Amino acid sequence: MIKIDNIVHKYTVWDDENTKNEKVVLDGISLDIPSSTFMAILGPNGSGKSTLAKHLNVLLLPDEGTVWIDGINTADVDKLWDIRSQVGMVFQNPDNQIIGTSVEEDVAFGPENKNMESSKIRTLVESCLKRVGLWQKRKESPTRLSGGQKQRLGTADALAGVPKCIVMDEPTAMLDPEARKEVIRLIHDLNKNEGITIVLITHHTDEVADADQIVLMKEGHIIGKGTPMEIFSNKELLRAAKMDIPPRVELGDKLREAGIPVPESILTEEKMKSEILRLYNETKGKGEATC
């Protein structure tokens, strides 16, 4: 789906009105993102992860190296529309991409600009809003939506382009815990049930336990890549990337230190709850049998 080959990206930084320098934000990044994958890119502020995300939708072009989207070089200006049709973007602040006076008008904006037939637009808008759970809100103003609902609307906008991949750049950064869970559930649904490739940019380690691959970035470099189990079991690597150890991983470590045999492979809240309940019932049953 996406192949990133040794890209370098630089920004111009003005020291004063007469002096400028170049800052390297991405320094030799190479990465393959297969179709239908859920890939999470983690890193602290300033690590380059958002800059990398913008290369996937041709919002930026690399100064060196190449980005391929479904076999198309992003430097091919004649294919810009094709690339952006393949890769949708959802940004940190949903208000920055919401322009319609109603929920359904906002989703219809993109297809209308492609001169799609009205009947097809109506069908597409209905499909996208139902997929993100906002069909009942279609006549409402986006300003009346909650933060989580606005992010779902941003996702519906991206889906209206019928993309193969959606890049989500810190979509939960401005949300409360419940709204964050709502957005993450939607991400999993689009990936697992619809086969859409997901690239999630975040600094919340607790959001990516179900990812297929995790990439750790620091100061414009990839410093680690692997499954959630591989990444979260490497505490030194997480600290090097200035990432928190997920709460469930810490809990599992403490339980094992206390002699409670919780498997290291458990990374999600639901599985941890289930395992603790199973161990409790098992211990309780043994106690009753002894009596």
Same domain, 240 and 278: no
Instruction: Return the CATH number at 230.
Output: 3.40.50.300
Same domain, 178 and 262: no
Same domain, 212 and 255: no
DSSP letter for each residue of the chain: -EEEEEEEEEEEEESSSS-EEEEEEEEEEEEEE-TT-EEEEE--TTSSHHHHHHHTTTSS--SEEEEEETTEETT-GGGHHHHHHHEEEE-S-GGGT---SSHHHHHHHHHHHTT--HHHHHHHHHHHHHHTT-GGGTTS-GGGS-HHHHHHHHHHHHHTT--SEEEEESTTTTS-HHHHHHHHHHHHHHHHHH--EEEEEES-GGG-TT-SEEEEEETTEEEEEE-HHHHHT-HHHHHHTT-PPPHHHHHHHHHHHTT----TT--SHHHHHHHHHHHHHHHHHHHHHH-
Residue at which a domain ends, from 245, 260, 279: 245
Q: How many domains does the chain have?
A: 2
**pLDDT higher than 70, residue 264:** yes
Same domain, 160 and 287: no
Same domain, 227 and 253: no
Same domain, 263 and 206: no
Q: Global pTM? A: 0.86
**pLDDT higher than 70, residue 285:** no
Same domain, 93 and 181: yes
Same domain, 189 and 77: yes
Same domain, 170 and 267: no
- pLDDT digit string (tens) for 157-192? 999 988 999 999 988 887 888 888 888 888 999 999
- pLDDT digit string (tens) for 85-100? 899 999 888 888 888 8
Same domain, 118 and 203: yes
**Token digits of residue 179:** 């709204």
- pLDDT digit string (tens) for 55-74? 999 999 999 999 999 999 99
Domain that holds residue 266: 246-291
Same domain, 205 and 260: no
Same domain, 74 and 157: yes
